[in-house]
Chain A
């Protein structure tokens, strides 16, 4: 919108230093590199799964006493390209969700980047959770441009304990976040009940104004299965008794997460056979 203060900033616009053809050439090169890296990751994933199988099946090796040396669990540390991260997600099937592998620079094009790649429940500069601590990650985002959209991030850690720690850090920060000053516009995280996967935690970022909670907020559901942590979030607003409204939003999110949480069994110590 026109404003004289800002006119000065657009009086003389800079010209591109690179010709468009060079930008396209660099873009094509980048695309080829990304494809090659994805293929390499897929090969590594297959190798990671295949190697222990091959070792245990091989007959020529030294005999291993299963009692004396119980083999540690081989965690799956990559996310398959066809992992159904968007299952149960889109509110309107006519509008497909966007998805992508872990590449913060790629996800940077999304409007909710910060919330996809890190969580700052108390608004601190240091995140309570960041995808950079994981070994592999993937995201999915859905928006119709009108509602708040729906977002999922999947992070895979080197083992179950690391994923547990990641979830515990978020829980601790939310539960110990200082209360907002009365009458101030603020965002206040409030923990909510959830029961999904092997372990889960939910909270809502209440938007507060001078009169208190506005009834609007972003609802977060974190679900851990084995060494995988799923973050599912959506914007929500409603009228009525606030705690009940937000709990209903968590329950809804949990129900929509069920298909993808079932698929997370590949990261569980028990695998998918126990279903």
Chain B
């Protein structure tokens, strides 16, 4: 992967991967920081990345792991300084519906949330999701079904609660 390839990959994938990691971890700021760091590591490991053949999956997995790793704990400790120095986010604020969906996802078990995001946001087929999470396809299908049902119920609860508040 040369500079030109990487720049194209970065431009095309950054927003998609942030959306996926945001849905996984529940915070867009954290998602953006982790995805940025994952792209830095992707360039540092570009040879491995090229051989891997799934660079976007590599970045997504790295960013997600960073979000739950000790790297995050270290960065959190530095956050006030980082924030002062960081470039301002280029992104518009998320819509209310967006916030509601992400909040509902956070209430699901992590295993269900992960397969929902990989399947519906990253557009991976069930077989690929199974490979990425290291679970049998049948398990992934069950998690997808249960997760989708639970998510719909949570969003319906949210909508009815808001309706009651607004009435």
Contact = CB atoms under 8 A, between A and B. Distances in A.
Interface residues on B, range: 35 or more
A8 B69 contact: no
Given A16-B36, A21-B7, A28-B43, 13 more contacts: A1-B120, A9-B23, A10-B16, A13-B15, A13-B19, A14-B90, A24-B7, A105-B69, A105-B71, A109-B41, A109-B58, A110-B61, A111-B61
Interface string B62-95: 1001100111000000000000001111111011
A135 interface: no
Interface of A: 1-3, 5-6, 8-18, 20-21, 23-24, 26-28, 30-31, 34, 98, 104-106, 108-113, 115, 132, 145, 148, 185, 207, 209, 214, 216, 218, 235
A109 B45 contact: yes
A93 B26 CA distance: 41
Contacts of A108: 61-62, 65-66, 69
Contacts of B134: 111-112, 115, 148, 218, 235
Given A17-B86, A20-B7, A5 B42 contact: no
The majority secondary structure among interface residues of chain A is mixed
Contacts, number: 145
Contact of B89 (A14, A104, A115): A14
B166 to A, nearest CB: 20
Given A12-B92, A111-B131, A185-B139, A1 B44 contact: no
B151 A109 contact: no
A10 B121 contact: yes
A216 B138 CA distance: 12
A20 B97 contact: no
Nearest to B18: A14
A218 B135 CA distance: 10
A20 B116 CA distance: 30
A106 to B, nearest CB: 8
A27 B42 contact: yes
